[in-house]
Amino acid sequence: MSPRHQSILAVYLGSWHSAHRPARAAAISEKMYKSRFKKWGLAKNTKRGVQGVPRPTRPSGHPARTRPKSKAVPSKSKAENLPIHAPVGGVRPPRPRLLQSPEKLRRQELTVHSVGTYISALFQSKGWVSEDRFALAPPGGCPDHGEAWLELDDRVFGASVLIESDSVKDGFATLDAIFQSLQSLAAFAEPHVMVKFWPICHRIHGICERMGNDQLLYGFLGFFHALVRLGLGPQHPMSLLLDGLCRVAHDDMMDTLRLGYFKSIHCLGDMVGGDHAIVLKMVSNYIKYWDKQGCDQDRFVANFTHLVRAAEARSGRCSEMAIRTLHSFTYALYYNSDDKALCSQLAEDLLARTAELPSANGQIQWSIETQSYAFASRVLANLALEKGDRAGWCAYLNSAISRLGTGDRECRTRAVMLLEDLKAELLKWGDVGGWQRLEQRRSELLSTLTT
C-alpha cells in the first residue's frame, strides 16, 4: 500500500477492531461513535430530524443559509425534471415526486448527469463492448474487475447478516476488509462499478438503519471518493458523482441513490440492450428495493425466459452461466411477482442444478452455484411455510444449514442467516426448547467466524 493510500485509510477507517465490541448494535456507545467519526474525518451530528435520524453537517467552505428554507408546495406540474427516458428491460421511469428544495434538485441532477457521462464514455470512447447477452468485455489490455465487484457486494451482504445477528465485531471487521479492498478497484473506470455501487450503498444504508446512525454510509462515500480522486482525478465523472453524494442530505439520500440506479440501468440498457443479463439483474434488484410497481411483468418474464434458454443452449443446463441466469430469474420472480407456481418451479429447477457444489480440500466454497443453492433452499422453505407445511419448511432449511455450515467463511455466514429464519419461526410457535437448541447451534457457527 502506498503512503498516500495509508493516509487515506487512516483518516476514514482508523482502528475498527478496537472500536467495535461484540454487543448489540443499538447499544454501541456514543463515545465510540464520536471517536470513529473523528478518525473518518466526519463530524458527529447533534441535530436530528423529525424521525430522530442524524443529519449530515454542512460541508466546509459552504456559506450558512441566509434565508429560511421554503416549504414544499404540492403541485401536480412540478416533477423531478431529470433526463430519464423510455423504459429499459421492462422497468418504468420513477414516479414524479414533489421538489423539496433547489439544493436537492441540483444534487440529483449532478448524480444523473455524472452517471450518464461515466457509462457513455466507457462504451463510446474507452472501448467497452458487450460481446454477447451475458457479459461485458473491456478494451484490449485493460483489466476486468467484474468478479471483484460481485464479491464485494456479497461481502457487504455478509457483513449486514453478521450485524443483524448481533455479531457486531465480526460484521465491522468484514466492513474493514471491504473498505481496504476498494484500494485495488477505485483507480479503474469500468461499467461494473455502476452495476454494484448502488446495491452496496443500499446494504450499507440498511446497516445504518440497524445502528440508528447514518454516518457509515457517508464514511463509505467519503473514503471511496478520496480513492477515486487520487486514482482518476478530481474532474472524473465518478469523482464528481461521489463528491455530490457526500453532500446529499440524509432525508434525500435514498431518493437520490434511486435515481442514480435507475439512470445506470437506462444507460447500460442503451449500450448493451434491455435484455442483457446484467441489465435484467439490475432491474430485478431495483424493483425489489426501490419501486415495487416499476416493472412490466409480462415483458420482464419473457426477457428472462429467453435469456435462460440462450444460456442453456450456449453452455449447458448446469453451467455457471445458466445457473447464474436462472438464479437471477428466480430472484426476480420471488421478490417481484405473485406467480408462486412459476417461482416454485424455478426454485426446484435451481436446487436440482446445484446438487454438486464446488469444494476445495473437502470444504464447500462460496460461488454462484453455492449462492443459488442457498437461495433456492430458502425460497422453497418459505413457499412451503406459506402452505402450512412446517415439516417441508424445516427440511429445506436444515439441509442447507448443514451443508453450508461446513463450508468456507461466506458459506457459514449464510448458514447463520438461515438459522435466524428458523429461530424466528420457532419463537412464534412458542417452541422454546427448539429455539434454545438453534441458538446454541448459531453461537457455535458464529464462533467459527471470529477474526
Short-list 51, 7, 52, 14, CA closest to 34: 14
- Residue 216: predicted pLDDT: 92
CA angle 218, 224, 225 (to 5 degrees): 85
- Residue 145: predicted pLDDT: 94
Q: Are 265 and 282 in contact (CB under 8 A)?
A: yes
Short-list 383, 316, 387, CA closest to 348: 383
Taking the domains of the chain in order of start, what are their residue ranges? 88-293
- Residue 325: predicted pLDDT: 93
Q: What is the pLDDT of residues 278-322, one digit of tens each?
A: 999 998 889 888 876 666 778 888 889 999 999 999 999 999 999
- Residue 51: predicted pLDDT: 33
pTM confidence score: 0.73
More reliable by pLDDT, 277 or 22: 277
Query: Would you state the torsion angle of the CA atoms of residues 31, 33, 35, 41, taken in this order, to the nearest 10 degrees?
Result: -150
Q: What does 30-90 look like in DSSP terms, one character per residue?
A: HHHHHHHHHHHT-PPP--B-TTS-B-PPPPTTPPPPSSPPPPP---TT--------S-BTT
Using the predicted structure, report yes or no on whether residue 155 has a pLDDT greater than 50. yes
Q: What does 208-222 look like in DSSP terms, one character per residue?
A: HHHHT--HHHHHHHH
Short-list 179, 256, 183, CA closest to 220: 179
Using the predicted structure, report yes or no on whether residue 344 has a pLDDT greater than 80. yes
Residue 401 to residues 95, 390, 405, 411, 438, Cα–Cα distance (Å): 41, 16, 6, 9, 11
Short-list 379, 107, 56, 87, CA closest to 219: 56
Tell me phi and psi for residue 281, to 5 degrees. -65, -40
What is the pLDDT confidence band of residue 71, given thresholds at 50, 70 and 90? Answer: very low
Using the predicted structure, report yes or no on whether residue 38 has a pLDDT greater than 50. no
Using the predicted structure, report yes or no on whether residue 21 has a pLDDT greater than 70. no
Phi-psi sector, 36: left (phi>0), alpha (psi -120 to 50), beta: alpha
More reliable by pLDDT, 12 or 421: 421
Q: Are 404 and 369 in contact (CB under 8 A)?
A: no
- Residue 293: predicted pLDDT: 65
- Residue 228: predicted pLDDT: 96
What is the pLDDT confidence band of residue 39, given thresholds at 50, 70 and 90? Answer: very low
Which residue spans within 243-326 are E strands per DSSP? none
- What are the contacts of 92-97 at 24+ separation with CB within 8 A? 92/291, 92/293, 92/294, 92/295, 92/296, 93/262, 93/294, 94/258, 94/259, 94/262, 94/290, 94/291, 94/294, 95/291, 97/255
- Residue 427: predicted pLDDT: 84
- 35-49, 68-82, 351-365: which has the highest mean pLDDT? 351-365
More reliable by pLDDT, 43 or 365: 365
Nine-digit cell at 13? 477507517
Residue 382 to residues 168, 349, 374, 392, 422, Cα–Cα distance (Å): 27, 16, 12, 9, 11
Helix (H, G, I), strand (E, B) or coil at 179: helix
Nine-digit cell at 254? 435514498
Round the average pLDDT of the chain to a whole number and report it: 79
pLDDT above 70 coverage of the chain, percent: 76
What is the pLDDT confidence band of residue 233, given thresholds at 50, 70 and 90? Answer: very high
Nine-digit cell at 59? 460541508
Using the predicted structure, report yes or no on whether residue 335 has a pLDDT greater than 60. yes
More reliable by pLDDT, 447 or 28: 447
pLDDT above 90 coverage of the chain, percent: 51
Short-list 428, 118, 360, 132, CA closest to 242: 118
- Cα separation, 383 vs 360, in Å, equals 32
Please tell me what DSSP assigns to residue 183: G
Mean pLDDT of 41-68: 37
Q: What would the 3-class secondary structure string for 317-367 be?
A: CCCHHHHHHHHHHHHHHHHHCCCHHHHHHHHHHHHHHCCCCCEECCEECCC
Using the predicted structure, report yes or no on whether residue 82 has a pLDDT greater than 80. no
Q: What is the pLDDT of residues 204-225, one digit of tens each?
A: 999 999 888 888 999 999 999 9
